[in-house]
Homo-oligomer: A and B are copies of this chain.
Amino acid sequence: MEEKSDLNSLLCRPIGIIHTPFKELENMPIQPSGAAGIPGTVELFPEFADGLKDLDGFSHLILLYHFHESCGYRLTVTPFLDSRPRGLFATRAPKRPNPIGLSTVRLIRIRGCSLDIENVDILDGTPLLDIKPYVPEFDHQEDCRIGWLEQVRGMVKVKKSDDRFRREE
């Protein structure tokens, strides 16, 4: 048992960089559903290229990435979609104990180590941590309750970010 991974930490290193039209944290779509059609590119580092085999059969990808412009966190936050503070884990806010972002995007094509994607709500230059295929049988849930978001359903598509999650805060 002495050989087990360190349970106390996981050191993640980027496997690529995500390029998008969003150069600033302000005025971005706040989720992929508000970013319909917005294009981006994942540049996977060449040493991981062999891992892309078979990925072109999938229409959607789950990207995990480092919210690299976020720093620190608070356990209650006022989300973009609300005026009341909410528990951090009931939000998708970027300032988290482990600042890992998750977005499901559409895969358009793969050219070498470049993945053209759409529906991108991610800051330009974001370090990519993982690519997983989106599989409805694994990832889609029926009969969902969405708590405080129920009241603001529909606003996601139009609401843009502001600077409340700036690193400097």
**A9 vs B68: C-alpha distance when bound (angstroms):** 10
A133 to B56, CA, bound (A): 29
With A68-B7, A97-B15, A147-B56 known as contacts, the answer to whether A134 contacts B141 (CB < 8 A) is yes
Find out whether the CB atom of A58 lies under 8 angstroms from the CB atom of B145.
Answer: yes
Complex formed: what's the CA distance from A87 to B50 in Å?
Answer: 6
Least distance between A147 CB and chain B CB atoms (Å): 2
- Quickly give the copy total for this chain: 2
Q: Which of B7, B57, B70 contacts A14 (CB 8 A)?
A: B7
| Inter-subunit contact A33/B138 (CB<8 Å) | yes
Q: Is the CB of A138 within 8 A of B48?
A: no
Contact A133-B58, Cβ < 8 Å, known A75-B51, A138-B31: no
**A14–B141 Cα gap in the complex (Å)?**
26
Question: Closest CB-CB distance, A122 to chain B, in whole Å?
Answer: 13
The complex places the Cα of A160 from the Cα of B9 at a distance, in Å, of: 28
Given contacts A5-B68, A98-B129, A132-B102, A87 and B138 within 8 Å (CB-CB): no
Find chain B residues with CB under 8 A from A7 CB: 14, 68, 127
Bound complex: CA A144 to CA B59 (Å): 6
- 8 smallest CB-CB distances across A and B, nearest first, come from A57-B147, A53-B87, A54-B90, A50-B75, A51-B88, A59-B145, A51-B75, A89-B131
Known interface pairs A7-B127, A50-B88; 13 further A-B residue pairs with C-beta atoms within 8 A, sorted by A's residue number = A7-B14, A32-B138, A33-B137, A48-B89, A50-B75, A54-B90, A55-B87, A55-B147, A60-B141, A92-B138, A100-B129, A104-B139, A106-B141
